[in-house]
Amino acid sequence: MTEQTIIHRPLPRPSEHSARFWSATAEGRFLIQTCSACGQATFYPKVTCPSCGSVDLVDTEASGRGTVFTYTIARRPTHKAFAEAGPYVIAIVELAEGPHVTTNIVDCDPDEVTIGMPVEVTYADTIEGIALPLFHPATTTATTVL
């Protein structure tokens, strides 16, 4: 179980196409889409498959696990909501299912983040009811089965 935090920051505005994603995050689920025509997994919510152009995209629940693909440390606040935040990590996480997600890495020292670091999703509640998917270092590592 992960502790949730109330934060005040610029928030997404769910659209016709992203409303299902944001409803799912409020329930602690991370939805991606999988193309029924070519099997490509994609994120953020789209109308057509970026691989083949099919409109037959199906919501799929992602594992919530991934690795840090790349990141930067913001040492100066980019918005007044972050004035007291101190240095924080803006990252692109590669989900285990393949798609990339722009997010923050939380619950660790920013200087300890590395490319390839295993991470897991956590959800930060906000005053407007949006649950932001953020990532923290994975609490367990994969076990090698001999």
Nearer to Zn ion, 40 or 126 (CB): 40
Pick the closest to residue 136 from 114, 105, 112 (CA basis): 105
Q: Residue 54 or residue 70: which is nearer to Zn ion going by CB?
A: 54
The least CB distance from residue 21 to Zn ion, in Å, is 18
- Residue ranges binding Zn ion (CB under 5 A): 35, 37-38, 40, 49, 51-52, 54
Signed CA dihedral, 108, 4, 89, 43: sign only: positive
Report which secondary-structure segment, H or E, holds 68. Answer: strand 65-74
Nearest distance, CB of residue 32 and Zn ion, angstroms: 13
DSSP state of 126: B
In the bound state with Zn ion, the residue whose beta carbon lies nearer, of 57 and 62, is 57
Task: Name the minimum Å distance from CB 57 to Zn ion.
Answer: 8
What does the alpha-carbon distance between residue 146 and residue 140 come to, in Å, rounded to a whole number? 18
